[in-house]
A and B are shown apart, each in its own frame.
Chain A
Amino acid sequence: MRIVVNLDVMLAKRKRKLQDLAEEIGITPQNLSVLKAGRAKAIRFSTLAAICKALECQPRDILEYRD
């Protein structure tokens, strides 16, 4: 029962690099890497919105609930 972050999937679909996305949304690549690896404890709505805007997707494409 956990929230899975599918950021790597979306990055691959959009053919984007983590570094570029980090630069575009204004957070450090280290923090984005923590999010991508699923080690983050929480995500701010502003960060999620920025990621969705940059990758042209919905929050459900980034986050998934697995039982």
Chain B
Amino acid sequence: MLILVWVAFIIPTGAASADQSFFIMLAALLKIAFSFLAMRQLRRFFVRLQAGEIFDRSGIDVLWRVGAYCLPYGVVAVTVRIWRMAESDYSFLPGISGYTVMVAEFLPSITPWVVGAVLILFSWLLREGANIEEENRLTI
């Protein structure tokens, strides 16, 4: 597993120092852990979707958890990007502004934040809807 992480994440980044290697490896492991947790919840969500049970409370909770696991994944991803940008030299890209580099570096890391925030917001709306529905149902 560690070799796989090394091959998939560390070699392409061209990590030089031992500290850098350790940091990137730790970040990669964290990202794998959070993506595993998110995928496991997503699998449960799709099972519920197939059974047509996404709009009950358990389905909403599953959706919320997928979003909640996307956020720490995004934190780790952004941290790695910030650190890598500070360490990197972009002088080999003449004519490319710093802003373009920043957008190119951050766009993939911001995606989990956006997905996580949208899922959490959506599940919150669904939960409020479920509360209102329950209150209406139990008003005699």
Instruction: Tell me the count of chain A residues lying within 8 A, CB to CB, of chain B.
Output: 12
Q: Which residues of B contact A27 (CB under 8 A)?
A: 140
Secondary structure of the B contact surface, majority rule = mixed
| Bound CA span A47–B139, Å | 10
Let me know if A40 is at the binding interface, CB within 8 A: yes
Q: Which residues of A contact B135 (CB under 8 A)?
A: 41-42
Let me know if B138 is at the binding interface, CB within 8 A: yes
**Interface readout for B106-140 with A: 1 if CB under 8 Å, 0 if not?**
00000000000000000000000000001100111
Q: Which residues of A contact B138 (CB under 8 A)?
A: 34, 39-42
Tell me the B residues contacting A by CB distance below 8 Å: 134-135, 138-140
Tell me the A residues contacting B by CB distance below 8 Å: 27, 31-32, 34-35, 39-44, 47
What would 9 A/B residue contacts be, using CB atoms closer than 8 Å? A27-B140, A31-B140, A32-B140, A39-B138, A41-B134, A41-B135, A41-B139, A42-B135, A44-B139
